Structure 1
Amino acid sequence: MHIGIDVGGTNTDAVLVEGRRVLAECKRTTTADVTTGIVAAVGGLRQQLAFNPAAIRAVMIGTTHFVNAVVEGRGLAQTAAVRLGLPATKALPPFVDWPERLRQVIGGHGYLCHGGHEYDGRVISPLDEDELRGVAADIAAKGVRSVAISSVFSLVSDDFERRAAEILTAEVPGLFVSFSHEIGRLGLLERENATIINAALRELAEQIAVGLTESLTAQGIDAPLYLSQNDGTLMDLEYARCYPVATFSSGPTNSMRGGAFLSGLDDCVVIDVGGTTTDVGMLHHGFPREASSQVLVSGVRTNFRMPDVLSFGLGGGSVVRQRPNGVDVGPDSVGFRLSQQALVFGGDTLTATDVAVAAGLADIGDKALVRHLDRTLVSSVRDHVSDRIATQIDRMRTSPAPLPVVLVGGGSVLVPDEIEGVSDVIRPAHHAFANAIGAAIAQVGGEVDRVFAMAPERRDEVLDAARQEAVDRAVAAGARADSVRIVAVEEIPLAYLPGNASRVRARAVGDLVLDH
């Protein structure tokens, strides 16, 4: 048996699954410290089905801990950004495009050093080891414990980043190091920014790993713990300690994977209506379509792997306001205070959940408390919701052909059964827990994203090598070797590089090895 948990802004959902069967499900209000909500959700599962904790072979968690920390600017470590590229790149130093508030939170310690490569692998300037030792002394004097190392075109050669880390950690033992070639993609500033965010989260990742482990131990569960990544796969706790940024957007990704699992569809639109937001994403071969452009994280431009998801402020907790020519639904939400502030629970705030209950779409709280709602208001809110969702589906399209839509999430009762431009609307069983189910059934992945010299006679050899490296990475991450398969290979010729250079991305996934 597995336990899947998804921590949302309003609710913490948990499911107990065995194979393809959902044995128990539980929804609890998310708590400010998050771990208390997780304990309550697992306790709710045990109330439904008295399972033996020793029978649990793995626990998978999708958490908003890390992205919330960046958005709120809390729990972030003082971080140094060391860029290898002098005499180039001086015009735009590290943190140049960061919001002032966030830069101050993590210190804004930027260092420009010699090193880096040209696009064809030639060295810009040799690494200056004494220069790096000087940086290490300054970092130590400022009490900085985490560093982000980026080098120009490190996706072509990562040698300088690794050597710089050796020098810095020799001078400052215990320093947390994040490498840009492991986190970001082509584009120096965006790749550097993603690496800085990851480095700033390293200390928090250590604390959260301990907290999550203790919350499960308190329930008598001693199974391996995995966190969901934003590509629909899993990472173990040790990997999460090093790459916390990989959890960003794992919530919507879990919902999309859960929607694919519950509906049996591999190519469709998945709409996840939660308590605070609605996420619209496209599934291709059962996995979320990736965003092809830069991604803004709390005002910082990044280019690490993220799902192509449209999120907007519409959910079960969204505040409803009447106006002379219609209604407004959201974007503000009562969030996890829904059970105190919504009308159906005796509160004084009109929410989308109240409208759903008044329309007979949901049976939550005391429906007598919303009988007074005007029918015109109820109809206007439903039309408003339908129009907004249809607009977002159109934005996700890559062709005019009608698409099937899978509705998941507890707030999906707000969505009508017919949507313009949609071939079929599917509400699978257990749809309210698709996010936790997506975590519970997730696989392990491995990815390669590098620039290769593609001589015509060696093209097949290079692509095969990239595929094998992706498979090897999946196995190293915990996938069962005989279950690993390649799910995507992408080759992008780079016309401005000599030597027939191409960017090659290969991705493999496989089932989790469970030794427990």
Structure 2
Amino acid sequence: MSWTLISDNEEMYRIGIDVGGTNTDAALLDSKLNTIHTVKVHTTRDVNEGIVESIRRLLAESGVNPARVGYAMLGTTHCTNAIVERKHLGYVGLIRIGAPATTAVPPLADWDDTLKAAVGPHAYVARGGYEYDGRTIVELDEAEIRDYLGRMKGEVQAVAVCGVFSPVNPSQEKRVAELAKEVLGDKMPVTLSHEIGSIGILERENASLLNGALLNVIAGVVHGFEQALQSFGIRAGVYICQNDGTLMRSEYALSYPILTIACGPTNSIRGAAHLSGLNNALVVDIGGTTTDIGVLAQGFPRQSSAAVEIGGVRTNFRMPDILSIGIGGGTIVRADKEGDRVTVGPDSVGYELLRRGRIFGGDTLTATDVAVKLGRYEWDGAQTEGLEESICLKADGIITRDIEDAIDRMKTSAEPVDVILVGGGSILVPDKLEGVARIVRPDHYDAANAIGAALGEVSGESERIYSLDEMTYDEAVADAKSQAIEQAVLAGADRATVQIVFSEDIPIAYLPGNALLVKAKAAGRL
């Protein structure tokens, strides 16, 4: 393959791609983050086909030289879908370092049988663990660890290690990882829970197990994306979107696939902030299947403070605070024969909208048909003659009321809020909503998710408990901020641009001594 040489002063571009359940969106941005071109293609059963087609169209329609694309970012639902559908997950061996303190609740206690079967039967509780302040409860029994690892040999594709209070002191987890490499070989991937989640052991254990199960999935995603780019002559730095609205290098993503969960709604929030110029607002992202509502706070998605369920499993790693309802462009509208009783969703025709929607000659009434019939959007060649206006008006009332209720649930006060509308399905929403001060529909609103993917800030986080009997308050906060900065640099940020964007500390009354939980988040440019 031949490459086109370019000079240092030529404009360099970045591509952002976001794979949704209905559409795959792609955006081309210049070095000043101006949106040059966007495309929307239908997501295919093999999502890589949609990614390739979106890149092909983006380059063909924009006329940009592929050699001038310096960065390529991907937001993907691959990992979320793998968990929800129980498909393509790898077998994972778990070692919980916590006997005898944690034996009351066995590993995978809240998992259903299908998910247990998908990750395999190897889960063991070994002696060890730490107190909240990092003091040893029980020493590791290395012979016991080697025995458990020996049982896994040839039967697992990854190992997850989870210790009591390991975010405070990770030494035992790191030692088990060394033993796993000795027994199972240097190439055996090992997920350490202190790198994934925060203090609660069961949720952190769940997240670590899922991370190990997703390693093969993310490897296919990353390698497929890299091959797609190379086939078009793009030699860009490749980044994968995280669920906190920032990016990680593709090689970092290969070790931490769990961090890609729910990155789609987050990309939309970041894109909405960029396109609208607002830093504090509610973002309503209406796609083909769902409406996702998030809170934009200081330019970043508000993070959830509660444990988050993924495919029925509770986890406690960082996740955006998102409310999803079953309203989208492909949502199915049903009416009885008299047209008196109308229901909306929650099921959707998804990527089959152009084939099944009534305005396209199909036989299924959808929310898009309703919006076009009521004059909210013009679609060339739309077949609206057979649509009953009374049914469409009733459906529209239901859609509007459901979205208004969802907005109210995400508000932190009764005062009207600004709402940024993005996503291709935002044509469903009228110009005024109850409880909303103003509605902002920015340019390129229908590709906000891809634009958010391309924006290119990289973050790192730290969350741990410090004992103020051993260090001062200022030292504890400084240490947490330093760890967050190092995590951001590891994920691909330019150290010179990294700043602390969030910091909080909470005294923990239920632990003895002067215990302090400190959370810090840092972000910087690529």
Structure 2 counterparts to residues 103-252 of structure 1, below 5 A: 103-141=116-154, 143-173=155-185, 174-252=187-265
Structure 2 counterparts to residues 79-478 of structure 1, below 5 A: 79-141=92-154, 143-173=155-185, 174-323=187-336, 325-364=340-379, 366-367=381-382, 369-455=383-469, 458-478=472-492
Residue 437 (structure 1) shift: 0.4
In the aligned structure 2, how far is the partner of 1:278 from the partner of 1:122?
A: 47
Retained in 2: the 8 A contact 1:279–1:310? Answer: yes
In the aligned structure 1, how far is the partner of 2:183 from the partner of 2:490?
A: 30
SS at match of 1:254: helix
Using the size of structure 2 for normalisation, the TM-score is: 0.95
SS at match of 1:405: strand
In the aligned structure 1, how far is the partner of 2:396 from the partner of 2:117?
A: 44
Letter in 1 for 2:379: I
In the aligned structure 1, how far is the partner of 2:304 from the partner of 2:82?
A: 22
Q: Give identity over the alignment, percent.
A: 47
Letter in 1 for 2:329: G
Letter in 2 for 1:150: C
Q: State whether structure 2 residue 504 is matched by structure 1 residue 490.
A: yes
SS at match of 2:143: helix
SS at match of 1:57: strand
CA offsets 1:42-96 (integer angstroms, 9 cap, x no match): 1111222111111001001100010100000111001111101111211211111
Using the size of structure 1 for normalisation, the TM-score is: 0.97
In the aligned structure 2, how far is the partner of 1:152 from the partner of 1:456?
A: 20
Change (3 A) 1:155 1:38: same
CA offsets 1:344-368 (integer angstroms, 9 cap, x no match): 222111111111111222233532x
CA offsets 1:241-268 (integer angstroms, 9 cap, x no match): 0000000010000000000111111110
Residue 457 (structure 1) shift: 7.5
In the aligned structure 2, how far is the partner of 1:123 from the partner of 1:480?
A: 37
Retained in 2: the 8 A contact 1:290–1:306? Answer: yes
Letter in 2 for 1:25: T
Retained in 2: the 8 A contact 1:344–1:365? Answer: no
CA offsets 1:444-500 (integer angstroms, 9 cap, x no match): 111111111235971122212222222232223222233222111010111122231
Change (3 A) 1:365 1:84: farther
SS at match of 1:32: coil
Change (3 A) 1:326 1:426: farther
SS at match of 1:212: helix
In the aligned structure 2, how far is the partner of 1:80 from the partner of 1:227?
A: 26
CA offsets 1:381-424 (integer angstroms, 9 cap, x no match): 22111110111111111112211000000000101111111111
In the aligned structure 2, how far is the partner of 1:326 from the partner of 1:387?
A: 16
Retained in 2: the 8 A contact 1:120–1:498? Answer: no
2:26 to 4, 8, 14: 14
- Which runs of no fewer than 5 residues in structure 1 stay unpaired? none
Residue 233 (structure 1) shift: 0.4
Q: State whether structure 2 residue 490 is matched by structure 1 residue 502.
A: no
Bigger CA drift: 489-498 or 158-167?
489-498
CA offsets 1:151-177 (integer angstroms, 9 cap, x no match): 011112111100011011111012111
Letter in 2 for 1:362: Y
Retained in 2: the 8 A contact 1:290–1:308? Answer: yes
CA offsets 1:80-124 (integer angstroms, 9 cap, x no match): 111011112112111111011111111132111111112232322
In the aligned structure 1, how far is the partner of 2:203 from the partner of 2:470?
A: 31
- Pairwise CA RMSD: 1.4
In the aligned structure 1, how far is the partner of 2:478 from the partner of 2:218?
A: 35
Letter in 1 for 2:409: R
Change (3 A) 1:346 1:325: closer
Retained in 2: the 8 A contact 1:95–1:108? Answer: no
CA offsets 1:134-158 (integer angstroms, 9 cap, x no match): 11110005x2121110001111211
Residue 325 (structure 1) shift: 4.6
In the aligned structure 2, how far is the partner of 1:310 from the partner of 1:69?
A: 21
Letter in 2 for 1:335: G
